[in-house]
Amino acid sequence: MIGDRILGVLLLLLAVAYGWEAAHFPEPFGGAEAVGPETFPIMLSIILGLSSLYLIVRPDADEPWPHLAMLGELAFVLVILAIFATMLQPVGFIPATTLMVGVLCWRMGARPLPAFLTGIGSAVVVFVLFNFMLELHLPAGLLDLNGG
């Protein structure tokens, strides 16, 4: 109930903001046409607005949401993925992947040692496969001995 209502309100806001912005697009170079850059977005904003009103009025039953601890866990997973993305270029593929896969395996219930081994194993296999067989170069980072 409450989940759908909140979503409905957010979507309604989105629809209004989106439509308002579309209505204020500058007129395209060459003058207005029957269908300008704003026509289609305005149609979408109206449809979305009406549907979100329906959600607010007639919400479905809620799915159980995870507890606070689990939400923290999920946020942690997203952070790990973001750290992986940030590390990839400067530090290199193999360390970043070992960390990401290792931590994810561990968080999903594997013991630390097998988790770490899965991490480093998959990192090396994917790196070798991509760099030497498929010739797609993944960042070597700190391990690049040629001083790249």
Partner 1 sequence: METLNYLLQGFAVALTLDNLMFAAVGAILGTLIGALPGLGPANGVAILIPLAFSLGLPAESSLILLTSVYAGAMYGGRISSILLNIPGDEPAMMTCLDGYPMALKGKAAEALAISAIASFIGSLLATVGLVILAPWLAKFALRFGPAEYFALFTLAFATLGGITGKNQFKTVIAACLGLMIATVGVDISTGNQRYTYNILELYEGVDFIIAIVGLFAISELLFFIEMHAGEGLKKVTLNKLKLSMADIIGVLPTSLRGSVLGFISGVLPGAGASLGSFISYTLEKRLVGHKGSFGEGDPRGVAAPEAGNNAAANGALVPMLTLGVPGSGTTAVLLAMLVSLNIQPGPMLFTQNADLVWGVIAALFIGNLILLLLNIPMVGVFVKLLSIPPKYLMPVVTLVASVGIFAISNSALDLYFMIGFGLLGYVLRKLHIPLVPIILGMLLGPEMEKSLRHALTISDGDWSILWGSGLAVGIWVVAIAGLVLPYLIGPILRRRMAAQAEKSHSVVD
Binding residues for partner 1, rule: CB under 8 A, are: 3-4, 7, 11, 15, 18, 21-22, 25-26, 28-30, 33-37, 39-41, 44, 47-48, 51-52, 54-55, 60, 63, 65-66, 70, 73-74, 77-78, 81-82, 84-86, 88-89, 97, 100-101, 104-105, 107-110, 114, 118-119, 122-123, 126, 130, 134, 136, 138-139
CA distances from 62 to 18, 59, 65 (A): 27, 9, 8
CA 97 to chain centre: 18
- State which residue, 60 or 146, has the beta carbon closest to partner 1: 60
Q: Which two tokens stand for residue 119?
A: 């991490």
Dihedral angle sign, alpha carbons of residues 102, 103, 106, 111: positive
11 in Cβ contact with 55 (< 8 Å): yes
| Least distance between partner 1 and beta carbon 63 (Å) | 5
| Least distance between partner 1 and beta carbon 134 (Å) | 6
- State which residue, 34 or 145, has the beta carbon closest to partner 1: 34
- State which residue, 67 or 147, has the beta carbon closest to partner 1: 67
Nearest to 48 by CA among 13, 75, 24, 83: 13
